[in-house]
Amino acid sequence: MSKHNLENITRDEYPYLNLGLEGIVAFSTTKSFIDGQKGELVYSGYTIDTLAEYATFEEVCFLLWNDRLPSKKELDELNSLLVHERKLPKPVLDYICTTEKHAEPMAVLRSSVSMLADFTDPSLDDTGNAIVMTAKIPTIIAAFARARQGLDVVSPLDEGSTAYNFLYMLNGVRPGAEAEKTMDLCLILHAEHGMNASTFTCRAIASTESDIFSAVTGAVGSLKGPLHGGANTAVMNMLLALESDLKTADPVAFTKEKLEKREKIMGFGHRVYKTFDPRARLLRTMSKSLSEETGHEILYEWSEAILKTMKEEKNIDPNVDFFSATVYYSLGIQPDLYTAIFAMSRISGWTAHYLEQMSNNRLVRPRALYVGDKPKEWTEISDRS
Ligand code: SDX
């Protein structure tokens, strides 16, 4: 596909042309605030550091949906709704267990979320359906992860947190407190991030007054891309490629070689953060301790070497995807599931933005700069070469 030649487009001729909507403020929101210069992230009035220290993922879900923390009664109600909604409709589970074993987990998630719309209770409102998807997405991911290996699907428990149940359904054994806490923290850190590509996609679909399942299906498709949520899997594959040849593994030379070829190092850079992503700071600490506990120190050491090289060569810092890869790997999770785990968390942010869009909607409809041919005479097919 040819790249349009935009070099001769002068800014004063087309003052509003911002490729990738860079720098464009398209919505107002109460869901999160990002200070890209200071490296700060706030969810509806609470810094990510405060939430990481004191909250659970379920409290963050309630916060994003309601712009306030839940009372104990409200949190208990949400937790029991999530437990009640974890099981999948049989046709969805049948699809997951019979689809191509080599299908991409994000493709199976995209199809499954779309199918859920057929089976949801028609009396549920959008918040009710947000809870349904938040409850069912972990079950979808764990079921496919096991079915594709020929393992029995593990049904969700009638108790326990989202993090606890996901690890239980994935591994078939109850996780320890440390593993649950780590997964819960990862879910908090990935829950919401303003107008990222997948949330923008969700809001654009919502703005046509389409349904919440369509908006989330579109968001899953957007998150799948390696420039967005797909980066965490790419980071892990990069580190495993290095590990596959321990004798010659040199993360510094590897990084410099890719940069010389003008290739992107996954897990680095960000459209908004021009300093360390505050989520990466927290994940870096988790990656260090978990890698040491699980005997993957070398992966953490290489990560630090790549980080140092990227700073020295390009003055670029890591984003949320860089250290989340080694954290999930230390939890024993297969690399191609990492983006789906991102979605398992971001469902809270997506649905919060859907609700916000519907509360004060205006159709999303930007313009495009036409750089095609000027109107010309018709040419008969016999005269076309
Ligand atoms: C997420 O938006 C969000 O909030 C997303 C997210 C969320 O929570 O929803 O934070 C999650 O998606 C994080 C990003 C995950 N993606 C990756 O890690 C993929 C690698 N990163 C890059 O593709 C890039 O940094 C982007 C896409 C994230 C941001 O790209 P921009 O803002 O369009 O910047 P750019 O591509 O124009 O890069 C500017 C310069 C270029 O150098 P020059 O051509 O000017 O010399 O920085 C360089 C780029 O080459 N650069 C990189 C780089 N990222 C930017 N060089 C090497 N490796 C990289 N990763």
Q: CATH no. for residue 324?
A: 1.10.230.10
Contact 257, 266 (CB under 8 A): no
Instruction: Give the pLDDT score at 249.
Output: 87
Same domain (yes/no): 77, 160: yes
Residue 185 has pLDDT above 50, yes or no: yes
Residue nearest to atom 3 of ligand 1 (CA): 196
Domain span at residue 264?
Answer: 231-330
Same domain (yes/no): 97, 164: yes
- The reply to whether ligand 1 has any atom less than 6 angstroms from the CB of 120 is no
Same domain (yes/no): 249, 315: yes
- The reply to whether ligand 1 has any atom less than 6 angstroms from the CB of 267 is yes
Same domain (yes/no): 198, 106: yes
Residue 326 has pLDDT above 60, yes or no: yes
Instruction: Give the pLDDT score at 2.
Output: 46
Same domain (yes/no): 222, 126: yes
How do 32-35 and 40-43 pair as beta strands?
Answer: antiparallel
Same domain (yes/no): 162, 273: no
H or E element at residue 47: strand 46-47
Residue 290 has pLDDT above 50, yes or no: yes
- Report the separation in Å between the CA atom of 23 and the middle of ligand 1, taken as the mean of its atom positions: 14
Residue nearest to atom 26 of ligand 1 (CA): 270
Q: Within a domain: residue 19?
A: no
Instruction: Write out pLDDT tens, residues 95-113.
Output: 999 999 999 999 999 999 9
Residue nearest to atom 8 of ligand 1 (CA): 193
**Residues catalogued as catalytic:** 270, 321
- Report the separation in Å between the CA atom of 307 and the middle of ligand 1, taken as the mean of its atom positions: 14
Residue 216 has pLDDT above 70, yes or no: yes
pLDDT band, residue 7 (cuts 50/70/90): low
What CATH code is carried by the domain that includes residue 214? 1.10.580.10
* Tally of structural domains, the chain: 2
- The reply to whether ligand 1 has any atom less than 6 angstroms from the CB of 318 is no
Residue 333 has pLDDT above 90, yes or no: yes
Instruction: Write out pLDDT tens, residues 277-288.
Output: 999 999 999 999
- Of the chain, the percentage scoring pLDDT greater than 70 comes to 96
Of 358, 349, 252, 239, the closest CA to residue 310 belongs to 252
Instruction: Give the pLDDT score at 12.
Output: 64
Of 118, 5, 134, the closest CA to residue 82 belongs to 134
Residue nearest to atom 23 of ligand 1 (CA): 227
